[in-house]
Structures are given as C-alpha cells and as structure tokens.
Amino acid sequence: MILSTFFSFLFSASGPAEVPMMSPNGSIPPIHVPPGYVSQVTDRNGSGPCVSRTMRMSEGGFKESLHPSTPTNRLSLLVCLCFSGEELQYTLTDLRPATDYHVRVSTVCNSVKGPSSDARAFTTHSAPPDTPLPPRLSHRTKSSLTLQWKPPADNGSKITNYVLEWDEGKKNSIFREYYVGHQRHCKVMRLCPAVGYTFRVAALNDIGTSGFSTEVVFNTTGSLPQTSLPPRLAQAGPSWVRLEWTRPNSCSIEEVVTYTLEMQDETKGLDFQAVYSGLELNRKVETLKRNTQYKFRVSEAQIQDVNGTTTQSQKDRYLIHLCLCSESQWMTLYRGPERKHLCEDLKPATSYFLRLSCVNVGGQSLCSDDLTVRTRIPPPGRCQPPSIVGDVKHKEMTLQWDGPLCGEESENVEFSLEMCAMEEGLEPMEVYCGSKTECTVGNLLPGTTYRFQVCAANSAGYGPYSESVEISTAAGPPGQCSPPAINVTSHTCADVTWEVSHSGIDISEYRLDWGCDLDSLELVYSGTETCFQIFNLEASTDYCCRLQAVNQAGAGPYSDLVTCRTPAAAPDVVSGFRHVDHPLNPTENEPFSHSTCLALTWDEPHCNGAEITSYSISMGDRIITTRSVTGHIIRDLLPDSEYSLQIRAENEMGPGPFSQTLTVRTRPLPPSPPRLECAAVGPQSLKLRWGFSSRSQLTDDTTYILQMEDRNQRFVVVYRGPSHTFKLQRLSESSRYRFRIQAVSEAGEGPFSDTYTFCTTKSLPQTLKAPRVVQLEGNACEVTWESIPPMRGDRISYVLQVLGGRDSDYKQVYKGDETSFQLSGLQWNTDYRVRVFACRRCVDTLQELCGSFSPSAHFNLRRSDATLAVEADITRVPIGKTLSDEQFAGLIVFGVFLQSIIKCTVL
C-alpha cells in the first residue's frame, strides 16, 4: 500500500499553504507551511541549504536538536521524520529572523488524518536589516537636495546607523559615503544647479549590514547650462575609435574648459563611465572589442549620444535571433542586426526566459543559455486619507488609514505617515513607517493644528500621497509662569515669591525647583502658596530657581531661570588642628627642638566668600597670630610641659569660631654628649671609650652615635648603640683621626660633643723568615735573609745574632743594611743557631723601631780529614777568646741596640 505523509505546521500566521515533498516510496505528499514561505526537501544523504535547527519525529511526536549552521542571512528549519526505519528531512527556509514560531506534526494515510503531535515553539536568530527602500526627495534647491528614507525591518536587532552613498554626480558607478548616522533624513549641500546625482542607502545593526537599496537619481533645480555639441566619430578601427568635439559657444576665450568623455558598453549592462578628462578636443579610445557598438558623450551635463561601431569585415556579418519563453512556450521576439532590443507589453511581477542565437549565410548557431528575467512590481496606488481613532489628546492622537490594493505583493507593503504643523515654512516630517495601518503620534503641542498625509511603498518604490487632513490637538496644561523673585536675607536664608498665574482658577499647585545650577535643581516646594523660605544655604554661593504651574491637564512649562548669590561671611570652624613631630616648612636659621618647640598644622576651612587673611592660636592668656598658611611653630616653651591650644580663622568679614581644644606636651631635654677618650692605640686601630661625669645622666635607654670625619671633611656614623666602647680597625699608621659623639634618649637627640683628635702609632717591621746558612771553605759560612722595603720613607736595617757551643745566650754579630753576612773562625762539629730581626729608623723622631726575631736556623760545621790535624788546636780555642776587631766592634753595636730596645719598651 502506498503511504503518503505530510506535516502540518501551526504558526502565528493564519492559514497553511501546501508545497510538495518526497516520501520514502517516491510519492509526493503535501507539507503545510505558512503563506509566503518556501520549503526544500532533502533525503538522508542529500544536501540542502543552511540548517539552523532540527526537529525529529518519533512514535509519540518529534524531537528537536540544534545543528551547526554556516554564516548566512538565510534562516531555515530542518524537520526529520522516522517512518519504517527510514528518515526523511524537510528543510523549511526563508523564515523571518527573530520571530517566534509554533510547529506540530500529523500524518495522513488514504485521506485519513491522524492525531497531531504536541506543539513545539522555536525562535529564529536575529539577522542584519532588510534592504531598505530607495531614498526619496523631500525638498531641493539649486545647491541642495533633502532626502528621506524609511527604516527597513531590523530583523531582531535594533538599527544603529544608516549609510547614504552618492556618485558625486559623476555618473561613473563609483559611490562614496556622504552620511553615516542614525537619522533617517539628510540634506546634501554644495551641489551644482541642474545636475543629476545618484543615491543609495543601507542600514546597519549589531548583526551586520543590509544590502544597498536600488539606485535613484535626483536633480537640483536651475536651468541646464548650454552643452557642447555631441562628439563626432573621426576614425574607427577593429579595436579603437577616434572622437572629436567642439568648444561650447557660451564659453569665453579666457575661460579654461575641462572635458569629460564618457563611454557606455551595452553588452556589459553598465552605465556611462569616464574614459578621459582633460583640455583636449579629441581622444583615441583603444582596447575595444571587435564589431561592438559603444555610446559616447562629453561633459557631465551632456545628454546627447553618438553611436560608434568598430569596423567589421564582410565575412563576419550576422543577424541576432532573440527568443522569449512565456507560459512554457518560446516565441521569436526580435530578428535583426542590432545588439539591443526593448521588450514591451510584458506582465508585471512575472518571470521570463530569454535566449539568443546568431544567423549568417552559413546558418543558425546553437542557442545560448537561458537568461531568467523577472519584471518589477508597480508601485502602490493612492491611500485613503488618515482618520482619527478615539479622542484627541493635548499631546498625542491615534490615526488609521486604508491601504491600496497592490496585487500579489500586498503583504510586503509599507506605509509612511507624514506630519506638518500649520506654520509657514515648515517641512513635513515622517512620524511612522511600517506595515500597520494605525499609529499613535506623540510629542505634540496642545491646541495646535497639524496636517497629515500617508503613502504606500513596496519593492518598486513609493506610491502617491493621499489627500492631506488637518487635525487639532486638545487644550493642554497651564502656560509658562512669570519668573519668581528672590530676596536674600542672610548668607544662609532666602525668601522666594511669585505672582499668581493668569489662569489661577485652574491651577492646582505650584512647583518650585532650587539648586546651585541647572543640573542640580531639586523640588523644594509643592503647594498653592505664592511664597517659600529656603534655609541652610552656603555663604558666597550662586543659586538658581524656576517655577512651574500644574492643572488637571498636566504641568506647564518652567519659568525662566532666576539666579542669586548669598553674601560672604566669616570663615567656618577650623578642622584637623593637630600636633606633628616635624615642621612642614622648617627653617635653617631657627633650629627646632621638641623640648622647647611645638609644630602645629590644620586644614584650611571654607572661607565663605572672603579670602582668609590670618589665623589666631589661643594658648591660655596668650594669643598668637599667624599668616594665612596652614602650619606654625611655637617656640621658647618649657620642656616636659603641657599646653592647651585653640585656633580660629579670620577674613575681612571677621573671625570665625574657635576649634576644639588641642592638648599637647613638650618633651624633656635630650641628654648632653659624653666625654670621649682613647683607651688603646695601635698602628691600625684605636679603641675609644666614653662616659658621663654625672651618673644621673646615664639611663638604660640611652643610645650613642659616634661619628668620624672622612677624607671629604664630612662626619659619618661609625657606631650606633648602647655600648660605652668601640674599637676602630683597619686604620692607617701614624695618622690623625677626628671624632665626635652624641647621646639620644626618649627626650630626643642631644647635641654633638666637641671634636676629639686621636693618632695611630707607627708600625714595627715585619718578622723575617729564618735565615739561610751556606758553608764556605775553611771554618766559615755565609748567612743570608730576606729584605724589607722602606716603610713610609724610613730606612730598614738588620741585626744578626748567633748562638753556638757552650753559650747560653745569643750574641749579636752584625747590624747593617745588608742582607748577608759571613761568619768565620767557627768550631768544627759544633751546633750553631742564627736569627735575625729588622729595625725601622724613623726620620721624623730619630727613633729606631725593631721587629720580632725571626725563627732560628740551625747548622753544624763539618770538616774533611785533611784539615783535622791542622786545626786540632784551633777547635779547642773558644770563639769568644779568638774574636777579631770587627767581631768585637759588632758586640759593642749589639749592646747599644739592646739598650735602645729597652728604652722604647719603657716608653
């Protein structure tokens, strides 16, 4: 059995319409959709238009699911039906954006309709606005054109701007922006007389931009200037033509004339486009198509055309055969050599198919592809004049009208209602644009007559306006009140009075607004009295007020604004009176002490219209007057004492009130500096100590700051703390250093002490390494040691001592500047020890400073067998008994050296 199915969609529109669809068995059941919409059907594997939402049918109804959609302004709904294991998809396209729809599904078998599913609601997405109708001309002059346009459907997103473009009168199909904004009218200025300008308009919202309207041409008023003669065809080639023209007779010889040559290629369906602009009277136009007809004209205002055709060889001549299809039948519309033909007597809003073929001596060619052309819809007819609905109010009225019959496009007709006040020189303005035949006009003036007219528009343009009708609004609220009078009685009070309105019997109340300026006005009085007193005003301040009368019809307009100014007064009370630790603007000439001085500051009060000249500080019976600054230092106070203070500001109007009492206390006197002494001294260090002569000045919380003078004669802190001693390291030998000290306690920082000078001592020579001993021939050896460079210009000498044999003490054998010495007359096979130390000879004090002994070097003199017999007797002789004169002199020098060391130690 062949089963047919269909869907019944219930929308807000009334009455369904049927479009075909495919079923699983190939039959075509009906699908019910709203009027004016088109459906497309795709199978499971087929392709269709953009899908934005899917509804799937099951046993008990249908399911809805979202599908991704590609970017488009085309809205669609995909409905899927599952039947006998197969799935059908029905795409409903051309839905209105931002519109609520309701859908339900039912099945039909053998003309028997089954139950309907539950209704399911959905809302289409917003889209860019529809393409607006072309702008229309509301007024024109020789140099201006005033245009108006109607808002298109916003498709769910409010229209934010309109774009008006024009061709600047050049007729070259190149458009430029002239106006971008939210207004629906524009006045195009600075135009030329008797010149045609082409315009188009588009609308924008948050989603995107609509398409541009159809182009429309408007001419400015004025007589046409005398035009030059049309161009002449001088020469023609297969792909070029040469044109000539003459200078207009109306131009004088002195005038410079610029010529614009425009060309039209009808094969492309384009308007005239400029191909040359200059001062020449001829032009060769190249790169043309062979055997093609072109039109040319000169200058902007030129309307006379000349036909120029490229040359054609005899063998290429042919005829054009144009056919038209109407009601599924083809008919010959034109046969001839021309390249264009005007099709007349066609039906409006009808689609036609056209095709071409060529005929020459060889026969007729194949037909071209079909060209589909649809004729336009005629504009609507005249509407009926608008009429009143209900009562006319003083500020608004409701109008309705009957639209004309517009054929099959009646559903897309929009109406434009214009209004004009009955005053000379006023232009009409559009107060409504839409598809409804009724609207409410607001923001009208009471007791005023207005003229209304309405016209209809469709995609073909605007129809004629209806006859105008004059309607008057009802009487309104009271008229404007006279300005009130203000009497300022003090800097905080003012009396406001006003006259009774001329229509006083109708007045229900007066409203008085008061404020510092127009933006701050507030309602301060509402009643039937004609006076009001205002308090709590500020001194030397500008105020304004306005009055309004109210009756049963509403509130009348406000009176003119009245202003006043309150007089100046003494300053306000001083706030922020406080004591600070450090003065805001200290002076070097007057030192600041927390024990005898108080630093005060405060906030500047409101001067009340007169500049503050001074401040007065009350301290017991004493009044201290200061300048107009916001800070002051009170000096010569007693330490550790309490004071009560008040302050007030003064101006030319007098003194203000005293502030609240401020209780402050001075600090105790800070401690005096201690005595500074040098406890120990060295070449690179100084140990300092300090203390007070009186134990009463010593406290546990006392901190000491020790400063030393640097190379730049600036004192820097070297110690800060509670200790009474400090050792300075890494100093330079024999150098003078200057110090000073300061004590700090809770009472503050005490003064610095006098400057103390201490010196470091000179450095002793360094301790030498153990000397080196080398045995020589015989009973002699050579002792060497390291050298020391001069110390700060002082020379260095060396002392060598020997310990050997039975001696228990070292003996000095050498003192001098050399770093080596030869010992002779030594005993064989005897242990000896040698050591050396360095001495510094001070040039400035003639003092000799000796360093420490070096480590001793041990050696034993060995002899060979050949010398044993010869020197047997010599070895028995003690060294002390065989001293030479030089050795004896060395002992004397060593004794003197020991005495100098003893004296230095004692000192």
The three state secondary structure string of 545-563 is: EEEEEEECCEECCCCCCEE
Q: In this predicted structure, what is the pLDDT of residue 421?
A: 83
User: How far is the C-alpha of 539 from the C-alpha of 859, rounded, in Å?
Assistant: 112
Segment among 110-119, 426-435, 870-879 with least mean pLDDT: 870-879
Q: In this predicted structure, what is the pLDDT of residue 53?
A: 40
- pLDDT exceeds cutoff 60 at 9: no
Mean pLDDT of 383-404: 90
Segment among 2-6, 724-728, 802-806 with least mean pLDDT: 2-6
Main-chain phi, psi angles of 504, to 5 degrees: -65, -25
Name the region of 321 (left: φ>0; alpha: ψ -120 to 50; beta: rest). beta
CB atoms within 10 A of CB 376: 14
- pLDDT exceeds cutoff 60 at 645: yes
User: How far is the C-alpha of 224 from the C-alpha of 227, rounded, in Å?
Assistant: 8
User: How far is the C-alpha of 337 from the C-alpha of 356, rounded, in Å?
Assistant: 13
More confident residue, 7 or 622: 622
Residues 163-173 have pLDDT tens digits of 999 998 888 88
More confident residue, 323 or 154: 154
- pLDDT exceeds cutoff 90 at 802: yes
More confident residue, 105 or 872: 105
- pLDDT exceeds cutoff 90 at 689: yes
Name the most confidently modeled range: 278-282, 362-366, 590-594, 609-613: 609-613
Take residue 356 and report the two structure tokens written for it: 């071409």
Mean pLDDT for all residues in the chain: 79
- pLDDT exceeds cutoff 90 at 3: no
Name the most confidently modeled range: 17-21, 445-449, 608-612, 736-740: 736-740
Mean pLDDT of 220-238: 73
Residues 534-562 have pLDDT tens digits of 999 999 999 999 999 998 778 888 999 99
Take residue 223 and report the two structure tokens written for it: 């007589």
Q: In this predicted structure, what is the pLDDT of residue 97?
A: 86
Mean pLDDT of 147-162: 92
Q: In this predicted structure, what is the pLDDT of residue 587?
A: 63
Task: Assign 505 a pLDDT band (cuts: 50, 70, 90).
Answer: low
- pLDDT exceeds cutoff 80 at 28: no
Q: What domains, with CATH codes, occur in the chain?
A: 92-223 (2.60.40.10), 232-246+255-299 (2.60.40.10), 317-374 (2.60.40.10), 387-473 (2.60.40.10), 485-566 (2.60.40.10), 575-585+592-650 (2.60.40.10), 675-759 (2.60.40.10), 772-861 (2.60.40.10)
More confident residue, 19 or 776: 776
Take residue 312 and report the two structure tokens written for it: 């054609």
- pLDDT exceeds cutoff 90 at 338: no
pTM of the model: 0.35
Task: Assign 716 a pLDDT band (cuts: 50, 70, 90).
Answer: very high
Mean pLDDT of 515-528: 93
Mean pLDDT of 862-869: 55
- pLDDT exceeds cutoff 80 at 149: yes
Main-chain phi, psi angles of 689, to 5 degrees: -145, 160
More confident residue, 697 or 314: 697
Q: What percent of the chain has pLDDT over 90?
A: 40
Mean pLDDT of 825-847: 90
Contacts of 158 (CB under 8 A, 6+ apart): 205, 206
Task: Assign 46 a pLDDT band (cuts: 50, 70, 90).
Answer: very low
Task: Assign 475 a pLDDT band (cuts: 50, 70, 90).
Answer: confident
Q: In this predicted structure, what is the pLDDT of residue 887?
A: 58
Mean pLDDT of 346-371: 81
Q: In this predicted structure, what is the pLDDT of residue 446?
A: 78
Three-state SS at 900: helix
Residues 52-92 have pLDDT tens digits of 344 444 454 444 443 433 333 745 666 665 555 566 676 77
Q: In this predicted structure, what is the pLDDT of residue 397?
A: 93
Q: In this predicted structure, what is the pLDDT of residue 30?
A: 40
Q: In this predicted structure, what is the pLDDT of residue 311?
A: 45
Longest distance between any two alpha carbons in the chain, whole Å: 169
> 463: which DSSP letter?
-
Name the most confidently modeled range: 244-258, 271-285, 850-864: 850-864
Mean pLDDT of 320-329: 73
- pLDDT exceeds cutoff 90 at 380: no
Segment among 590-604, 792-806, 865-879 with least mean pLDDT: 865-879
Distance of alpha carbon 871 from the chain centroid: 111
Task: Assign 670 a pLDDT band (cuts: 50, 70, 90).
Answer: confident
8 A C-beta contact, residue 811 and residue 894: yes
If we measure between CA atoms, which residue out of 367, 344, 353 comes closest to residue 325? Answer: 353
Take residue 500 and report the two structure tokens written for it: 């009774």
Task: Assign 799 a pLDDT band (cuts: 50, 70, 90).
Answer: very high
- pLDDT exceeds cutoff 90 at 36: no
User: How far is the C-alpha of 767 from the C-alpha of 531, rounded, in Å?
Assistant: 112
More confident residue, 588 or 309: 588
More confident residue, 102 or 390: 390
Q: In this predicted structure, what is the pLDDT of residue 404?
A: 82
Main-chain phi, psi angles of 896, to 5 degrees: -60, -40
- pLDDT exceeds cutoff 80 at 282: yes
Q: In this predicted structure, what is the pLDDT of residue 56?
A: 42
- pLDDT exceeds cutoff 90 at 604: yes
Q: In this predicted structure, what is the pLDDT of residue 147?
A: 93
Take residue 344 and report the two structure tokens written for it: 């007349």
If we measure between CA atoms, which residue out of 545, 551, 541, 516 comes closest to residue 533? Answer: 545
Mean pLDDT of 789-806: 90
Mean pLDDT of 352-381: 81
Q: In this predicted structure, what is the pLDDT of residue 361?
A: 64
Mean pLDDT of 9-33: 37
Q: In this predicted structure, what is the pLDDT of residue 213?
A: 94
Q: How far is CA 785 from CA 364, 451, 800, 809, in A?
A: 133, 132, 10, 21
- pLDDT exceeds cutoff 70 at 696: no
User: How far is the C-alpha of 483 from the C-alpha of 792, rounded, in Å?
Assistant: 103
Residues 759-782 have pLDDT tens digits of 998 889 999 999 999 999 888 999
- pLDDT exceeds cutoff 50 at 310: no
Task: Assign 488 a pLDDT band (cuts: 50, 70, 90).
Answer: very high
Residues 235-273 have pLDDT tens digits of 888 888 999 988 776 665 655 677 788 888 777 766 778
Q: How far is CA 580 from CA 80, 585, 597, 632, 666, in A?
A: 85, 12, 11, 10, 12
